[in-house]
Amino acid sequence: MMQRAAAPTSFYRAIMANTLAIVIATLLLMSQLFDGQPFETSLKLGFVLLVLLSVWRMGGIGALLAVQAYLFLTETKTPVSGWHAYVVLPALTLSLVIFIERLRAIRATARQYPRPTTSTWREWAEAAKSRLLPRDSQPTVPLEGSEVGRHVLAVATLFAGALASALVAGWMLRSVPLDFRAPDSVRLRPTELRGIVLASVLMAVMIAVFLVVGELTWRKLSPKQARVYLRDHFARWIETDWLAMHRQRVKARQRTWKRRQLNAAQLIEKNP
């Protein structure tokens, strides 16, 4: 029986790089969120457990919910200000969510391969320690600087993307000023009105981009794709009529069946 090859060692190096990134992001977030709070140690321990649960089962949403719950419970009446609240915290939270999801995706892909044997792990550990080829007969690839750099660059790129998103979002939020007449005129807090204003502006931008991109891609349809789309679209117009006809047929069949059963029962009664 042919045995499938074990997962490439690059998978496990990616897992190590991602795990290290998750540990660093968790430590940084813990220092930002929980310092100076009552029951600081218990909160930090709870956060670490939630991150572990997110990695194991829940996915990035677990960590996101944990941060959101903490911010909700420690919300103050005065609006927050400063780049720490607008950029650092969102960037760290987003990075943590990204790294957790990436780790789960890499592990799911690596699980398709058989588990590595002890000898493979030993080879990899020896290569990582000494950067020399092991003395075993099985060939292995030593830890190359370019591959390590590639994994570090991948993690750094993800963090840079999260930071850029947080910077743009923070700038957009601050570009809409707080309107302090909001509580009197619309019974909203100034920050809530600002959120609605920003959401409206973003919705307008999204509609414009969606129209342009959608039209550009739609005109590149092949004739086969166009046919499938038209059939699906026209079929939906008469879908409700089809369903109504089908239900009527089913009911008529059920009535006929019941009538036959009754007739059969009456015949049996008359002629025992």
Taking the complex as a whole, the smallest distance from the CB of residue 200 to other proteins amounts, in Å, to 5
Where would I find the H helices in the chain? 9-33, 40-53, 60-73, 83, 89-110, 118-130, 145-175, 182-185, 190-218, 223-237, 239-270
Task: Give Cβ neighbours of residue 16 (< 8 Å, ≥ 6 apart).
Answer: 151
Binding other proteins by CB under 8 A: which of 16, 128, 158, 188?
188
Q: How far apart are CA 154 and CA 162, in angstroms?
A: 13
Q: Which of 129, 233, 267, 269 binds other proteins (CB under 8 A)?
A: 233
| Least distance from other proteins to the Cβ atom of residue 238, Å | 15
Judged by CB under 8 A, the residue of 27, 132, 156, 196 near other proteins is 196
> Please, which of residues 144-173 interact with other proteins by CB under 8 A?
none
Least distance (Å) between residue 191 CB and other proteins: 14
**Polymer length of the chain:** 272
The reply on whether position 226 binds other proteins by CB under 8 A is: yes
Within 8 A by CB and 6+ apart from 229, the residues are 221
Among 68, 109, 191, 200, binds other proteins (CB under 8 A): 200
Closest CA to 191 of 81, 69, 96, 46: 81
CB nearer to other proteins: pick between 136 and 192:
192
d(C-alpha 222, C-alpha 245), whole Å:
34
Q: Which residues bind other proteins (CB under 8 A)?
A: 179, 181-182, 185-186, 188, 193, 196-197, 200-201, 203-204, 207-208, 211, 214-215, 218-219, 221-223, 226-227, 229-230, 233
